Amino acid sequence: MWKITRNIIIALVIFLLITAGISALSGDAKVKPVSVSEIVNLANNGKVESVQVTEDRVLATIKDSDTKLSATLGKNTEFVTLLKDNGISAEAIRSLQIEYKQPGWGSSILSNILPILLPFLLISLFIYFLMRQVQGTNNRAMSFGQSSVKLSDERKNKVRFADVAGAKEAKEELKEVVEFLRFPQKFLQLGAKIPKGVLLLGSPGVGKTLLARAVAGEANVPFFHISGSEFVEMFVGVGASRVRDLFRKAKRNSPCIVFIDEIDAVGRQRGTGLGGGHDEREQTLNQILVEMDGFETETNVIVIAATNRPDVLDPALLRPGRFDRQVVLDLPDIKDREEILKVHAHNKPLAADVNLRNIAERTPGFSGADLANLLNEGAILAARSEKKDISTNDLREAIEKVMLGPKRASHILSTAEKKVTAYHEGGHALIGAVLPEADPVHKITILSRGRAAGYTMKLPSEEKHMQTRASFLDEIAALLGGYAAEKLVFGELTTGASNDLKVATNMARKLVTAYGMSDVLGPITFAEPSETVFLGRELGEHTNYSETVATQIDAEISRIMREQLERATEVLQAQRSYLDAIANKLVAEETLEQEQFYDIVKDIVPKDKIGPTLNSTVVPAGVQPVVNEDTSAASAIDAETKSV
């Protein structure tokens, strides 16, 4: 509203200024309009001192007076002729000091044309201000073909490799790219070709964009960055035009780096759409391919792209000459997590009891972005409690908040639901503690958080890069521990085990189809149902095995699930007293930390498992094995969503 009011005020001020200008230029304020005959009569009586005649106007100066008389002269009328016709002698006419003056073009416009155009000018000005408010600064109606690439000012925010914690192997690969940019002749004189592109692969939040900025900062070259989705528009040819514009700008600033984030938005495999192979996205991709490996081979422009979906990229992008190098960024291990935490904690006041090593132990599977968010959430929690520094409890609370969401204080369970949830979580924890290959338990609670009515936190006791069949089966049994506990104690099942069953089934399927760990089907890998890139998950799915084999796979998965359920039930039956003790403690206190839990079950837990687990200052907790993407959810947290 204020912007519209401001524009109206500006228009009024302009109107007043124009009006004042017209008044100032129109003549003296003492000019009195009269008829021509009056001026002639005064001249006849000798009262006129001088006369100024223009094309259509007469301005007479009266003797012994400051007053001037103005009269409109008729068309094609001569003032001298008019005086002669009224009987004024030639001598009297000469004494009048008649001056003929041609009007200036500026005065003519101001006095005649501008008063007519002024209303239209003001209306146009008002409409212009209104249109500016509607369109804003993002009006790009006339610049479709120009790329929205941004040139970073690295002088203000220069990132170095030292600012990137972890990712040692990736940084070593990218250091060579820096050498290519800084000292190209070093490689050219040996006949080496400077790489055209580097593809950064990794999960969201692992630091792909930060690494690209670090390369530009180390090489001290311009850094252009753009998202892949910014190329594609509904108008044909716009994407290709933007690609040409991008590389035109890059070549003018070479040597430089062009960073394309989320390149899978425009670099997906060609010829897979329903509309044929000539859509706008494919034309854009074709232009990228030409610019990266065209006829111009001397340009010192390196393209760095990032994606977390390398499986959908077009093969032409990945061949040598385009993206020559592919750098994989893994999730950070415990050492890298500790370094990342130190980087993000340097400007935050931490309490004396905070041990970042312990926080790193509790965050397996966290990316760099997750860790940054963890410390930020911890700072917010501390500020909410009017604290001056961030404590360990704040960070532990932040970990659970990042994993599961905020606490649901309003989600209060009834007494019966508390008891069911306590036995359910106790079943998870007891199986996880007793089975030798299951991950140790760190926390149990029946307090609602996010969509979970309760959860059991289990973290690995050491870094794992491979996983055995026995550990898979123990984790499946631990996941089914809640299901088995409900059935054993109450003889009835609830919806709380839905997520457990989903995760356990996926693990069993991976065990059979991906890792060849089935005794029945043997060492055979069965590919996941493949999907056509643009047809969705159901329209284009097809498998590389028969329906008979699919039936055998389903039967084997079912057998594994039943066997592990029976195994979990047997453990709970044998250790029923411990299950009751855990459940009663949870009902009374709602949350059990690691020490409290192991005080209850220490007599039945294997000694080699309980010893290092409780020594949090020594034992690192690592990420889940990279061989199974689905195990992290099961091993880190067993969370249940209940319809209560």
Write out the H or E segment, with its range, that includes residue 223: strand 223-227
The active-site residue out of 425, 486, 556, 640 is: 425
C-alpha–C-alpha distance, residues 35 and 56, integer Å: 13
Burial class (CB in 10 A: 0-12, 13-18, 19+), 35: exposed
Instruction: Tell me the sheet residues that pair with 129.
Output: none
C-alpha–C-alpha distance, residues 486 and 44, integer Å: 126
Write out the H or E segment, with its range, that includes residue 174: helix 168-182
Q: Cα 162 vs. chain centroid, distance in angstroms? A: 24
Beta-carbon contacts of 627 under 8 Å, excluding residues fewer than 6 positions away, are 465, 466, 467, 515
Q: Is 463 a catalytic residue?
A: no
Peptide bond just before 255 cis, omega within 30 deg: yes
Q: Which has the closest alpha carbon to 404: 372, 343, 445, 344? A: 445
Q: What's the token pair of residue 427?
A: 């079943």
Instruction: Tell me the sheet residues that pair with 150.
Output: 225
Instruction: Write phi, then psi, for 119 (nearest 5 degrees).
Output: -60, -40
**Degrees (nearest 5) of the Cα angle 528, 529, 534?**
125
Write the DSSP symbol of residue 161. G
Question: How close are the terminal C-alpha atoms of the chain, in Å?
Answer: 47
How do 301-307 and 256-261 pair as beta strands?
parallel
Residue that the structure tokens 């780096």 belong to: 257
**Single-letter amino acid code for the residue at 96:** L
**Single-letter amino acid code for the residue at 366:** F
The Cα diameter of the chain in Å comes to 143
Q: Which has the closest alpha carbon to 486: 417, 562, 436, 587? A: 417
CB atoms within 10 A of CB 475: 27
How do 150-152 and 223-227 pair as beta strands?
antiparallel
Beta-carbon contacts of 348 under 8 Å, excluding residues fewer than 6 positions away, are 375, 378, 379, 390
CB atoms within 10 A of CB 328: 14
Write out the H or E segment, with its range, that includes residue 569: helix 547-574
**Degrees (nearest 5) of the Cα angle 536, 542, 548?**
140
Instruction: Write phi, then psi, for 200 (nearest 5 degrees).
Output: -95, 120
Q: What's the token pair of residue 318?
A: 């990945």
Write out the H or E segment, with its range, that includes residue 259: strand 256-261
Helix 594-601 vs helix 576-589: crossing angle, to nearest 10: 150
> Do 628 and 507 contact (CB within 8 A), yes or no?
yes
How do 454-458 and 637-640 pair as beta strands?
antiparallel
> Do 635 and 458 contact (CB within 8 A), yes or no?
yes
C-alpha–C-alpha distance, residues 505 and 565, integer Å: 12
C-alpha–C-alpha distance, residues 268 and 342, integer Å: 38
C-alpha–C-alpha distance, residues 43 and 92, integer Å: 8
> Do 44 and 23 contact (CB within 8 A), yes or no?
no
Active-site amino acid positions:
425
